[in-house]
Amino acid sequence: MAGIMKLGTSGHSWLLTGVAVDALTKGLASLIGGAVLVAFVAASGGLILQAAWWRPLAVAASVASIVLIVAMWDGLPTSPAIAALAFDAVVLVALVIARWPSEDMIGAWPQRVPERRLTVDDSCRRRATKRISMHPPQASTSAIRRCGHWPDR
């Protein structure tokens, strides 16, 4: 991929060059960089589709990108590397620390339905609705007196 993208990387890594040759290191970095790119694109698609999995994928892609940039620092052009680190930092701060954007703002599919607790008013409505359906003429006025309103059907 580095040949296709023409990034100008040397393949030298302060962390991996002693263990592997530059060509192997460059190939591995290109493979990981491509996976990070695919993960960011997939997370963007998940965001557009309002899927619940886009946030963890974006965080994982940012962490993998930071690890890759730090490991390959000697072989990368400095200016794009700094810009990529800044982007990764913004993604991590927004999603992990600030928890922005909120699920209410963007939504998530499937959306979680808040748990609804039964209140006295709800139980009164349910009993009144049951009475009205069983004995419509007699129960309707007593349901209004007891609950203070017409029950929902």
Q: What is the pLDDT of residues 69-118, one digit of tens each?
A: 999 998 888 899 999 999 999 999 999 999 888 877 776 654 455 566 55
Q: At what angle do helices 22-49 and 54-71 cross, to 10 degrees?
A: 160
Q: Quick one: pLDDT at residue 5?
A: 45
**Does residue 17 carry a pLDDT above 80?**
no
Higher-pLDDT residue of 2, 44 = 44
Q: Which contiguous run of DSSP H or E holds residue 12? A: none
Backbone angles phi, psi at 51, to 5 degrees: -80, 155
Q: What angle do CA 88, 35, 74 make, to 5 degrees?
A: 60
